[in-house]
Chain A
Amino acid sequence: MKVRRRDFLKLGAATAGMVVGATAGPTPVRAADPNRERCKAMLFDATRCIGCRACQTACRDGFGMSPTRDGDELYDQPTGLSTTCPCIIQEYRSEDGEEWSFIKRQCMHCLDPGCASACLVNALERTPDGAVVYDVDKCIGCRYCMIACPFDVPTFEYDKPVPSIRKCTFCFVTSEGNVPRCVARCPTAAMQFGDRAELLREARSRIHEEPDRYVDHIYGEHEAGGTAALYLAGVSFDKLGFPANLSDRPIPDLTKTFLNSVPLVIILWAAFGTGLHRFVQRREAGLEEVAEEVETGP
């Protein structure tokens, strides 16, 4: 009777550990939204961009970010994405100067965003409209989203005692007429904003109509599982600063196998650990009995 009670308690302790672990383990891994491709998107056509940076300025105005100035209050252009510049126009020119293009860099708004899957407090989330938005009130500043983003989009305020992550949010909160400011301000219609499927059709027909003008690639259609920022260009995309070795697999997929195995590890270890302990205990009890028998003799 006594042994049974003890067994029961031990199993209870193991189960308690298991339950505690299970609630802590992210057991139900969120399935990718089946409707995720039916969202808003932006199409940037690099061959139409004249590099005026009106989008860049509109973006900073919208965020209330001051332009980069040197000590003499002189204004200078930023050279890359930063906490005061979430959208930037960059120029590519080959060494012989023959090949060139402007390119807009901003958040790609992945259909299945790695940054949001990496965030341990849901400070980054994708809205059903397709924008990946940031909630500063949740962020703890661990910067794992920056590790997760293959496009190096999230930037961190290293210069502030109370820092935030800064990135493009498709003007989700304050958009005028549901179009991001950068798109609205573009004087050459190098950008369109609308349904993703429609923009993909539009991009395909542009390539079809003017095959010499474009490389045959819509960047963002499949990269990292597809993005809501879509790109057309006349120069191959690896020259324009996009990661060359990126697969079509959504970033969150890469950790799913691990996360799904968490409950298995908990259950198997709990059972194996309890069993092993019981086995060792019994063997010891058995050895003691044998020793007693040897001592007392037959």
Chain B
Amino acid sequence: MNRMNRAEIASAAKAQLTPFNVIAALIILASLVVLAIRFTRGLGAVTNLSNPYPWGLWIGFDVMCGVALAAGGYILASTVYLFGLKQYYPLLRPAILTGFLGYFFVVIALLVDLGRPWRLPYPVFYSYGVTSVMFLVAWHVFLYLTVQFIEFCPAVFEWLGWKRVRSWVVKLTIGATIAGVILSTLHQSALGALFLLAPTKLHPLWYSELLPVFFFVSSIIAGLSMVVFESTVSHRVFKDQVNSHHLARLDGLMLGLGKAAAITLFAYFSLKWIGVARGQHWSLLATPMGLWFLVEMFGFVALPCALFAWGSRTGNVSVVRATALLSVVGIIINRLNVSVIAFRWDYAQRYWPHWMELLVTVGIVTVALLTFRWIVRRMPVLRAHPEYQGLQ
């Protein structure tokens, strides 16, 4: 008996020894070493942060991009529950899970970046700096994390078989959805509003009074694109989780999301030019930073807009799926531009992330992916739970 258990454990352990798992384990181990250095010798020991560049990759990518790319949760929840487009329901749970984990790991990244991370709860429980946009971000990320947890609870309770608790939580759905949309609108835009008070530091082509609007509208693009991208990857990786009936419907949904993304990208493209026009910054377009701005605008806004429109019009799902990746990259470029690349673009000693910063970022993304996989393999996320089929 004992021996058999041991043999079972051994074979189970062997099954875990996939190349992905081995590489993931190495990355996580190395990140932990870096974190040990960071927490004993200070941020300067592992980052290239400085007084002119107090925010680097961990804020620019982990937080700014992390929050934007987690927007799929509120986008899909409002699509299904507020706009009543019930056919999108199969995409809802993975989107909410991606959103929840996205925010959760944004907070983890923040704990790494903050000088005194053990004081993270201060703005919520201890000292209230109500004039700060950061205060708004802190509160809303905290509340939205709670909301997304409530939204994901039905899947957890189905997995645990707690029918009664599940039915209670389901009743909160509409309230949670509306609260989620409000909170997301505010903190997605607030991440842009953070930079409103740095007009002398952010390049004029990216600085605009409309920054909050830009960040909100582009978060819709990020959410839609991430749902397409994430479903593309999931349905390849977790084939066993999805039934064929579901797959057949999926193409139509992808086209619908592509169409929505095309419209939003078009609106975003127009809005961004209003920003340039308001500041009368046309002449700056002929500078090196101006060229980079044009690359962002045409390569990562106009191009995905055209491709999404073309793909969804001609029914070409592969084009829509590929464009989603392009559009996600575009959002990452935009967030990095505002928070790192175009921030103090004219400064002599430019910031460039230290390899250990990069390693920790990759480590956090890896843990997020592993957590996603762990949950998807156990809970009814991509598949419907047999006992709750048809229930929403």
Contact of B42 among A27, A159, A252, A269 (CB under 8 A): A159
- Check: A262 CB closer than 8 A to any chain B CB: yes
Q: Which residues of A contact B89 (CB under 8 A)?
A: none
In the complex, identify which listed stretch (A47-55, A118-126, A200-208) lies at the interface while the others stay far away.
Answer: A118-126
Q: Is the CB of A139 within 8 A of B42?
A: no
> CA A157 – CA B54 in complex, angstroms?
11
Q: Which residues of B contact A14 (CB under 8 A)?
A: 175, 178-179
Question: Nearest residue in B to A164 (C-beta to C-beta)?
Answer: B115
Q: Is the CB of A20 within 8 A of B133?
A: no
> CA A10 – CA B175 in complex, angstroms?
7
Q: Is the CB of A141 within 8 A of B114?
A: yes
In the complex, identify which listed stretch (A37-45, A60-68, A145-153) lies at the interface while the others stay far away.
Answer: A145-153
Question: Nearest residue in B to A23 (C-beta to C-beta)?
Answer: B139
A242-259 contact mask (Cβ, 8 Å, vs B): 1 or 0: 010111000110110111
> CA A143 – CA B116 in complex, angstroms?
11
Contact of B84 among A118, A158, A280 (CB under 8 A): A280
- Check: A265 CB closer than 8 A to any chain B CB: yes
Contact of A120 among B52, B132, B178 (CB under 8 A): B132
Most chain B beta-carbon contacts within 10 A, residue among A12, A117, A147, A162: A147
Contact of B174 among A10, A29, A82, A122 (CB under 8 A): A10
Known contacts A143-B115, A280-B84: A138-B200 contact under CB 8 Å:
no
Q: Is the CB of B115 within 8 A of A274?
A: no
> CA A150 – CA B185 in complex, angstroms?
28
Contact of A259 among B39, B136, B138, B198 (CB under 8 A): B136
Q: Which residues of A contact B172 (CB under 8 A)?
A: 13
Known contacts A14-B175, A147-B194, A251-B197: A152-B51 contact under CB 8 Å:
yes
Q: Is the CB of A147 within 8 A of B178?
A: no
Q: Is the CB of B179 within 8 A of A114?
A: no
Q: Which residues of B contact A280 (CB under 8 A)?
A: 82-84
Known contacts A21-B183, A163-B115, A277-B82: A156-B178 contact under CB 8 Å:
no
- Check: A155 CB closer than 8 A to any chain B CB: yes
Question: Nearest residue in B to A28 (C-beta to C-beta)?
Answer: B130
A75-116 contact mask (Cβ, 8 Å, vs B): 1 or 0: 000000110000000000000000000000000000000101
Smallest beta-carbon distance A88→chain B, Å = 13
Q: Which residues of A contact B18 (CB under 8 A)?
A: none
- Check: B128 CB closer than 8 A to any chain A CB: yes
Most chain B beta-carbon contacts within 10 A, residue among A144, A148, A277: A144
- Check: A289 CB closer than 8 A to any chain B CB: no
> CA A270 – CA B50 in complex, angstroms?
42
Per the CB 8 Å criterion, the residue count for chain B at the interface is 67
Contact of B185 among A114, A251, A269 (CB under 8 A): A269
Q: Which residues of B contact A29 (CB under 8 A)?
A: 130-131
Known contacts A117-B132, A258-B212: A140-B182 contact under CB 8 Å:
no
Question: Nearest residue in A to B50 (C-beta to C-beta)?
Answer: A158
- Check: A291 CB closer than 8 A to any chain B CB: no
Smallest beta-carbon distance A215→chain B, Å = 21
In the complex, identify which listed stretch (B95-103, B118-126, B357-365, B381-389) lies at the interface while the others stay far away.
Answer: B118-126
B247-275 contact mask (Cβ, 8 Å, vs A): 1 or 0: 00000000000000000000000000000
> CA A152 – CA B41 in complex, angstroms?
24
Question: Nearest residue in A to B179 (C-beta to C-beta)?
Answer: A17
- Check: B181 CB closer than 8 A to any chain A CB: yes
Q: Is the CB of A26 within 8 A of B130?
A: yes
Known contacts A24-B140, A81-B51, A144-B134: A17-B128 contact under CB 8 Å:
no
Q: Which residues of A contact B310 (CB under 8 A)?
A: none
Question: Nearest residue in A to B123 (C-beta to C-beta)?
Answer: A120
Q: Which residues of A contact B40 (CB under 8 A)?
A: 161
Q: Is the CB of A276 within 8 A of B83?
A: yes
B76-106 contacts to A (CB < 8 Å): 78, 81-84
Q: Is the CB of A284 within 8 A of B115?
A: no
A157-196 contacts to B (CB < 8 Å): 157-164
- Check: A197 CB closer than 8 A to any chain B CB: no
B140-183 contacts to A (CB < 8 Å): 140, 143, 172, 174-179, 181-183
Known contacts A158-B43, A243-B200, A273-B178: A118-B132 contact under CB 8 Å:
yes
Known contacts A21-B143, A117-B132, A138-B127: A148-B54 contact under CB 8 Å:
no
Question: Nearest residue in B to A114 (C-beta to C-beta)?
Answer: B197
> CA A20 – CA B81 in complex, angstroms?
21
Question: Nearest residue in B to A154 (C-beta to C-beta)?
Answer: B51
> CA A156 – CA B84 in complex, angstroms?
50
Residues of A at under 8 Å CB distance from B?
A: 10, 12-14, 16-18, 20-21, 24-30, 81-82, 114, 116-123, 138-144, 146-148, 150, 152, 154-164, 243, 245-247, 251-252, 254-255, 257-259, 262, 265-266, 269-270, 273-274, 276-277, 280-281, 283-284
Known: A119-B134, A258-B193. 17 other contacts (CB 8 A): A13-B175, A14-B175, A25-B136, A122-B128, A123-B127, A141-B117, A156-B51, A158-B42, A158-B44, A158-B47, A161-B39, A243-B200, A254-B197, A255-B193, A269-B181, A273-B78, A280-B83
> Closest 9 interchain pairs by CB?
A141-B115, A13-B175, A158-B44, A17-B179, A280-B84, A26-B130, A24-B139, A143-B54, A146-B54
